[in-house]
Amino acid sequence: MDPILVTIIVTVIVFGGALTAGYFVRAGIRNVKRKIQSSLLGQIYNGINRDLSEKNMSITDVDFIPKAGAKSVSDMSSALVPLISRDFPELNIEQLKSSCEQLLIMTLREISERTGGMETSDKPLLHYGSGNNAIPIRVTDAFREKIRQRIDDLKREGKAETFSHIKIHRTGIRSYDKTAGTRVITFEFAIEYFHVIKQNGEVVPGEPDQLEQTRYNMSVVDIIDESKLTSTEVNAIGVVCPNCGAPVRTLESRQCLYCGVGLTPVDIRVWRADKLTEK
């Protein structure tokens, strides 16, 4: 047989085989594609595509990496509020909680300002009293000293710690502890913020563009308010019964144990924030 003719025949057979194989491959792909589109997964995918098309978006515009949500808190309020109210009938627990939330935010801002170079020499740390920058609840010396130590340590290391866009998502009463001399309420906060620490202008830890979700615990204690110990009200009512002269054991007494006359209780205690810890 003519070699040229043989070459032509072989070429036709190979080319035809390739076309046939390609046809079946394409048919198989179309069949698989139809099955996928008709499946539940395919219907979901098509639905997402339609929704994105209406918003002038494509599937490549979607970030499928889940973002961290707000932290949960340990909230025992339903069980503890009645106990606290029984011991402190005049205490506005919601107001105390709100004051602690504000104190947490203001404390973080103080750290940001004082380590970021915005400190003024005449501005006291965590000042309680009048003024726009005054904290809403008193703090103990231990609370203030711990914050001061943190600020001093950061400055010594040449670091600036900043918190911004601070938002408290939820607050719960974590615990209520009673001892012979005092009571301690511990609040737990779920909070978010942008948090970075810079050293020599460079970010050390932290993601400047990523919200951080975390928890804080703040303990508040009721302690004696020294300013009330010398008041005339305490001296007049808190030492002896005005009716029979018998000693009054506690300034919170509502009735004389000897003659039974009603007494006006004198509240010489005040709530102060004592501890702040990140969980």
User: Is 82 contained in some domain?
Assistant: yes
Residues 161 and 88 reside in one and the same domain: yes
Mean pLDDT estimate for the chain: 78
φ, ψ for residue 171, nearest 5 deg = -135, 140
- Could you tell me if residue 239 is inside a domain? no
**Are 98 and 213 part of one and the same domain?**
yes
Structure tokens that stand for 1 in this block: 């047989």
One domain for residues 9 and 114: no
3-state secondary structure of 45: helix
Is residue 176 within 8 A of residue 216, CB to CB? The reply is no
Nearest-angstrom CA–CA distance, 144 and 103: 12
Q: Hey, what are 261's tokens?
A: 């006359």
Of the pLDDT bands very low, low, confident and very high (cuts 50, 70, 90), residue 229 is very low
The HSE-up count of residue 256 (CA atoms within 13 Å, CB side) is: 17
Main-chain phi, psi angles of 249, to 5 degrees: -70, -40
My answer on whether 154 and 216 are in the same domain is yes
Residue 103 sits in the same domain as residue 210 = yes
Q: Are residues 131 and 191 in the same domain?
A: yes
Residue 139 belongs to what domain range?
A: 77-223+274-278
Flag whether 169 is in a domain.
Answer: yes
* CB contact at 8 A, 208 and 162: no
Counting the structural domains of the chain, the total is: 2
Are 102 and 49 contained in the same domain? Answer: no
Same domain, 42 and 85: no
CATH number of the domain within which 107 lies: 3.10.450
Q: Is residue 134 part of a domain?
A: yes
- pLDDT class for 21, splitting at 50, 70, 90? low
In total, the chain counts a number of residues equal to 279
With respect to residue 189, please indicate whether it lies within any of the assigned structural domains: yes
- Domain match, 36 and 134 both: no
Q: Let me know whether 56 and 133 are in one domain.
A: no
| Tokens standing for residue 62 | 């979607």
Residues 99 and 218 in one domain: yes
Averaged pLDDT, 206-222 = 90
Task: Tell me: do 148 and 174 sit in the same domain.
Answer: yes
Rounded CA separation 218/189 (Å): 8
pLDDT, tens digit, for every residue of 140-180? 999 999 999 999 999 999 999 999 999 999 999 999 998 87
**CB-CB contact of 237 with 244 (8 Å):** no
DSSP assigned state of 67: P
Measured distance CA(228)–CA(247) in Å, rounded: 19
| Sequence-separated contacts (24+) of 11-17 with Cβ below 8 Å | none
244: nearest Cα among 231, 230, 232, 260 = 260
pLDDT tens-digit map of 73-122: 989 999 999 999 998 998 999 999 999 999 999 999 999 999 987 655 56
Structure confidence at residue 204 as a pLDDT band (50, 70, 90) = confident
Is 97 part of a structural domain of the chain?
yes
Q: Is residue 246 part of a domain?
A: no
Residue 191: predicted pLDDT: 97
